[in-house]
Amino acid sequence: MKKLILLILLTINIYAIDTSMVVGKWQTTATIQNQNSTTVEKEYLNLRANHTFTITLLVSVQAKDAYIKDLRIEASGGYKVQDNLIIAVVKRVNVPSALDVKNISQNSLNAIADKFKARFDGEPILVTKVTNITATQMSTVSENGASRVYVRE
């Protein structure tokens, strides 16, 4: 399935980008509201000229009087740019800590951490299409259809 998606993305290229355009530190924020909770995801993406990357995801979840603040998920690996795609291979994932936790059990914290860690562990090859890029912004669409707008730090 991943190869089919990659083939489709390669055939509908709008334009090509090169590595020098994407190298740098990027960040994006997403807020998701469910019935009983609000989740804020802050993503910090560092694409280096030597074709390595790091992603730091800080997740905060608020549900009534219980919350997790800045659960940290770190991923790293290598990437390449092909046409208008960034193809990243995740080699390492780490969940070192949460800044603050209130009224949440250790089991619940572990379940939430595992859910976000699975984004990188479950799919170690990440294919992202760059739909627009300027000196300060990069718009992307992931292979699962999620759109993000990154701002250069």
Q: Which residue ranges make up each domain of the chain?
A: 2-152
CB 69 within 8 A of CB 7: no
CB 76 within 8 A of CB 82: no
List all residues 6 or more positions away from 35 whose beta carbon is below 8 Å from its beta carbon: none
pLDDT digits over 9-33, tens only?
Answer: 445 545 578 889 999 999 999 999 9
List all residues 6 or more positions away from 65 whose beta carbon is below 8 Å from its beta carbon: 102, 103
Hey, which residues does 108 pair with through a beta bridge? none
List all residues 6 or more positions away from 135 whose beta carbon is below 8 Å from its beta carbon: 152
Q: Could you say which of 3.20.20.140, 2.40.128.280, 1.10.260.40, 1.10.10.10 is the CATH number of the domain covering 2-152?
A: 2.40.128.280
Task: Specify the pTM.
Answer: 0.85
CA pair distance 57, 69, nearest whole angstrom: 12
Alpha-carbon distances, residue 117 vs 17, 64, 140 (angstroms): 29, 24, 21
pLDDT band at 96, cuts 50/70/90? confident
Identify the sign of the CA torsion 52, 29, 34, 5. Answer: negative
Instruction: Compare 110 and 1 and report the one with higher pLDDT.
Output: 110
Provide the mean pLDDT of the chain. 88
pLDDT digits over 27-78, tens only?
Answer: 999 999 998 899 999 999 999 999 999 999 999 999 989 999 999 999 999 9
CB 142 within 8 A of CB 127: yes
Is residue 13 classed as helix, strand or coil in its secondary structure?
coil
